[in-house]
Amino acid sequence: MKATFVLLADPPAENLGRKLMLKANQIGDTGFEMARLPHHISLKQPFKIKSLDDIEAYFDSFAQSLSPITAKLQDVVLWPSNVFGYESGVLVVAVEKTSELFDLHIRLNRELEEKFGACPAGFDGELYSIHMTFALGGVTYEQYEKVYAQLSKEEVGAEYTFSELGLLFYDNDDIKPGTYFCYKRVRL
């Protein structure tokens, strides 16, 4: 089992993500894998958990300490990805790395480790790139490059509010399609 904590997009940012997801599919047949989840800013990539009940209890207390966050979405970015076990891509909207967002990432890592022991996830710490994913897997990286060539011209830079915290749950450590969903959401 894995979990992650995310800031869930309010309707304007959700609509932007859905619009970009549709355009990506129309250009490169990338599919709608990301439609399984509400659009979000991950505060930490998926990490292994021993007990969903224990993580949920911490999630509830963590959520109580937060207020809605305004984040500036910047440009469309393409990264290689093999999250589903084959070489593909991931398209994201980069989010301005403010001290508020980065400090929240660091705090979450620290508190999880204090409460549950080591909870490593990809890109923790200084390397963490704050982003909102809108397309993942489904086609080759070359197809993603084709999509990126067109979508990188999209004007997406604007500030959006994220006023819910979400707990994403992955029933399979390999993060296979169809094995994850947004388990819980809490208004900040």
Residue 148 placed within a domain: no
115-164 per-position pLDDT tens digit: 999 999 988 988 899 999 999 999 999 999 999 999 999 999 999 999 99
- Domain assignment present for residue 48? The answer is yes
Range of the domain at 35: 2-70+99-130+158-187
**What separation in angstroms does the CA of 145 have from each of 57, 80, 136, 148?**
41, 10, 13, 5
Domain count, the chain: 1
CA–CA dist 118, 91 (Å, integer): 29
Radius of gyration over every alpha carbon of the chain, rounded to an integer in angstroms: 16
User: Can you give the pLDDT at residue 10?
Assistant: 97
Q: Write out the E strands in 34-178.
A: 40-42, 47-48, 69-81, 88-95, 131-136, 158-162, 164-170
The CATH code of the domain that includes 105 is: 3.90.1140.10
What pTM was estimated for this model as a whole? 0.94
Q: What is the pLDDT of residue 21?
A: 98
- Whether 139 is covered by a domain: the verdict is no
Residue 26 maps to a domain? yes
| 143 within some domain | no
